[in-house]
Amino acid sequence: MATGRGFEINSFARALPHGGARANLFSVSIPTNIIPVVGHTNTAEAIELTAKATTIPPSTIEPVEVPFYGRTFRLPGGRTFDDWETTITNDEDFKVRDFFEKWSNSINGHGTNVSSVLQGTANQGGGGGGIRNGYTTDAIVTQYGKDGDKIREYKMVDAWPHTIGEITLDWAENGTIQEFAVTWAFSWWESVATDQSGNPLSSGNNSRTTHS
């Protein structure tokens, strides 16, 4: 009796010529040089080393429903970008947590209800070129291959932290390291395949593509 191709283990192996991408081979880069937080050095490196979990963002085009004689046609509408989340491991110096809290406070002060960051000029750190100078940056998720080479990057343009999550405290917790979530708003994301050195690859000479 003939069997479908899906029953052949060799067919499955050929569909994964590189052995599959691994969910734990990634890093999160948050350029911090334009963020007005006094007293912080090497914070970008600390974030990259303690960002333990995140996601590659979804790609969503909202459908527009058009009724016609009792039927509904779903046509492509506008593109939307959901929030992006990272999970950070907290150290006793609270360095990364303090950075995010001060960044958030510069956008809107807890007690003052005003912003202390400059606005009205082009973004110097992000790629959006909007009026967000001083409080946004371009966040990057890098996917690595099993050989340690960069294989793909996702850039969240004009990203800023809109929610800094709670840290749970509990006397019953022994041997548990604190962590907290940071939820980000951003304008859009871009993806690019990279070579072994992390340089962008042209879609014209390989099977990996760049799009936004």
Residue pLDDT, tens place only, 56-69: 999 999 999 999 99
Once rounded to an integer, what is the mean pLDDT over residues 5-25? 86
Lowest pLDDT segment from 48-57, 155-164, 188-197: 188-197
pLDDT reading at 6 higher than 70: no
The pLDDT value recorded for residue 31 is 87
Tens digits of residue pLDDT in 110-142: 999 988 875 544 444 444 444 466 789 999 999
Write the DSSP symbol of residue 200: B
Q: What is the overall mean pLDDT for the chain? A: 84
The pLDDT value recorded for residue 128 is 47
The pLDDT value recorded for residue 92 is 97
Q: How far apart are CA 94 and CA 200, in angstroms?
A: 35
Once rounded to an integer, what is the mean pLDDT over residues 193-207? 57
Q: Which residues contact 44 (CB under 8 A, 6 or more apart)?
A: 29, 30, 31, 32, 33
pLDDT reading at 157 higher than 50: yes
